[in-house]
A and B are shown apart, each in its own frame.
Chain A
Amino acid sequence: MRNVWVICKRELSAYFSSPLAYVFIVIFLALAGSVTFYVGGFLEGGRADLQAFFNFHPWLYLFLIPALGMRLWAEERKSGTIEFLMTLPVRTSEAVGGKFLAAWLFAGIALVLTFPIWITVNYLGDPDNGLILAAYFGSWLMAGSFLAISACVSATTKNQVIAFVLSAAVCFMFLMSGLEMVQSFFRSWAPELFVRAVAQISFLTNFFDLTEGVIDTRAVVYFLSLIGVSLVINTAIVEMKKGQ
């Protein structure tokens, strides 16, 4: 566990020592803010909630999170530092965990920095703050799932651009599987059970479960297991690809 934390600290410092961190945070805040106010009709709706803000998160994450995750392993393999890292007395799983945790904490920081929007709704009306907190938590969990997938994909290549594009594509599939459009496509030929299974693995379905009600255990378990499975696969990929 100590090693996970040592690696996590180093990775966080790597984010903040490059412009990536600041670009990411600025873009995230600007997009989250503008979409909430202009596209989501935050002010016209007359409702004091953050539904529009959270509805937009999955789409924001679709390209921002792969940008956060793409460097995790690809950069390490490209520059050869992976040999330095993996010949220190550290388990691959610890390195995988530490790197993931750093990126996840970073995403959390970006999310926390959207608090002015929360203050604004509280100023404008009387929102259900418990619900908002649950939605924030759900959003962070979803960000973790996007990240775990991106980290996994990053371990398969030395090229960060490829890592970015592939991660976005995989995340897109996980998102889309919950859309009505995709559902009806499957419904036309696949058994109902399969259609429901596809809907179940969707980030959208699970995320909206979390933003719409009290914390839904099933959705939490879903996101956490997705993260867990991705990290296990990530470890296997790093082990396998080490020598190449």
Chain B
Amino acid sequence: MDTLVDIRGLTKYFGPVKAVEGVTFSVKRGEVLGFLGPNGAGKSTTMKMLAGYLTPTSGSATVCGYDITRQTIDVQRRLGYLPEGAPAYGDLTPLGLMRFAAGLRGITGAKRDKLIQTSVERLELQSVLQRPIETLSKGFKRRVSLAQSILHDPEVLILDEPTDGLDPNQKFQVRNLLQQMAKNKAIIISTHILEEVDAVCSRVIIIGDGKVMADAQPGQLETRSAYHNAVVMRMPTADAEKAEKVLSGMAYVVKVERIGQWNGTAQLRALSAGGADILSTVHQAVSKAGVTLQQIHVEHGRLDDVFRKLTSKSRNKEA
């Protein structure tokens, strides 16, 4: 696997405002990197620097081996970029916009028409091809911009919130598309939708306050959650108190929560200390105490919980 994006100590200040500070990571071909972080964390700023729109205050990065500040045009030729908010010329039609982008990429004639057709089919834009972009709905606008960004089949894709504003079917479609394209590309997407990470990303970077807080596979990150390997069980309400007593006496259980109670049943969650595997011990202990278990399962942990834990200090920075 070869490295297509390589970022070293990328830093950006807007006057005195620090937006990105010493961000370092690299992305290989075949990877889909989910770029997460609270509002104002510096995701878009990092992406804008990679796309050659903003000049870094310090640090450097290469895309396909080309330096983003010294060889900006070479970088831009190999890059598909979806800017935040998917800006596009409202007076152009989707077809016009793609032809314009193709023109600036030096793609003409039959090759251009073929690439445009592929892109249009991938994002299902056939029905709106001839309508001015300003008359399209938000989701269609986003898809038009996406179509533009993948038009030239670039090796590196940088997409700032690609599924924002799409309906569930289209989100599904776009995620599939990303997975299909992932094999021979390096893809970076920023998102606030954590399910998306599990759905498409092979790797996650969480940034907060301009710095990288975590860099791991989604599954690894979830193990850092307090809910990793937590055991959830359902039982008759009458047994709940008994179970709680047994569980809180166990060494590997840090906390017992009652998470629901209805129709005469109660649901309890036992959080595992250090994420240890506690299912069998919990099962045995509770059964021995005479609790009738109606259901029992283990949680993997939650990305949103890890996200909160890692970024709570830098949350709502703009406020």
Q: In the complex, are the beta carbons of B104 and A81 less than 8 A apart?
A: no
Q: In whole angstroms, how far apart are the Cα atoms of A242 and B52 in the complex?
A: 11
Please give, as numbers and ranges, the residues of chain A lying within 8 Å of B103 by CB-CB distance.
Answer: 2, 6, 9
**Is B87 at the interface (CB under 8 A from chain A)?**
yes
Q: In the complex, are the beta carbons of A89 and B91 less than 8 A apart?
A: no
Q: In the complex, are the beta carbons of A91 and B91 less than 8 A apart?
A: no
CB contacts under 8 Å to B, within A1-39, are 2-3, 6-7, 9-10, 13-14, 17-18
* 12 further interface pairs, Cβ-Cβ under 8 Å (given A10-B100, A83-B87, A90-B104): A6-B104, A10-B89, A13-B92, A79-B90, A80-B87, A81-B88, A81-B89, A83-B53, A87-B53, A87-B79, A87-B81, A89-B77
Q: In the complex, are the beta carbons of A14 and B76 less than 8 A apart?
A: no
**Could you show 7 A-B contacts with beta carbons less than 8 Å apart?**
A2-B106, A3-B104, A80-B83, A81-B87, A84-B89, A87-B79, A243-B48
For B, the interface residue count at a CB cutoff of 8 angstroms equals: 29
**Is A86 at the interface (CB under 8 A from chain B)?**
yes
A84-B73 contact in complex given A242-B53, A243-B14, C-beta closer than 8 Å: no
Shortest CB distance A78–B (Å): 10
Choose among B83, B91, B104, B105 the residue that contacts A83 (Cβ–Cβ < 8 A). Answer: B83
Q: In whole angstroms, how far apart are the Cα atoms of A89 and B75 in the complex?
A: 8
A residues touching B (Cβ–Cβ < 8 Å)? 2-3, 6-7, 9-10, 13-14, 17-18, 79-81, 83-84, 86-91, 242-243
**Is B182 at the interface (CB under 8 A from chain A)?**
no
Q: In whole angstroms, how far apart are the Cα atoms of A86 and B87 in the complex?
A: 12
Q: In the complex, are the beta carbons of B14 and A6 less than 8 A apart?
A: no
Q: In whole angstroms, how far apart are the Cα atoms of A10 and B96 in the complex?
A: 9
Please give, as numbers and ranges, the residues of chain A lying within 8 Å of B106 by CB-CB distance.
Answer: 2
Q: In whole angstroms, how far apart are the Cα atoms of A14 and B83 in the complex?
A: 22
Q: In whole angstroms, how far apart are the Cα atoms of A87 and B80 in the complex?
A: 9
Please give, as numbers and ranges, the residues of chain A lying within 8 Å of B145 by CB-CB distance.
Answer: 84
Please give, as numbers and ranges, the residues of chain B lying within 8 Å of A9 by CB-CB distance.
Answer: 103
CB contacts under 8 Å to A, within B81-131, are 81, 83, 85, 87-92, 96, 100-101, 103-106
Please give, as numbers and ranges, the residues of chain A lying within 8 Å of B177 by CB-CB distance.
Answer: none
Please give, as numbers and ranges, the residues of chain B lying within 8 Å of A87 by CB-CB distance.
Answer: 51-53, 76, 79, 81, 83
Q: In whole angstroms, how far apart are the Cα atoms of A94 and B154 in the complex?
A: 23
A88-B48 contact in complex given A83-B53, A83-B83, A243-B14, C-beta closer than 8 Å: no
Most central of B52, B87, B90, B148 by chain A CB within 10 Å? B87
Closest A residue to B48 by beta carbon equals A83
Please give, as numbers and ranges, the residues of chain B lying within 8 Å of A13 by CB-CB distance.
Answer: 91-92, 96
Closest A residue to B75 by beta carbon equals A89
Please give, as numbers and ranges, the residues of chain B lying within 8 Å of A90 by CB-CB distance.
Answer: 73, 76, 104
Q: In the complex, are the beta carbons of A88 and B83 less than 8 A apart?
A: no
Please give, as numbers and ranges, the residues of chain B lying within 8 Å of A6 by CB-CB distance.
Answer: 100, 103-104
Please give, as numbers and ranges, the residues of chain B lying within 8 Å of A81 by CB-CB distance.
Answer: 87-89
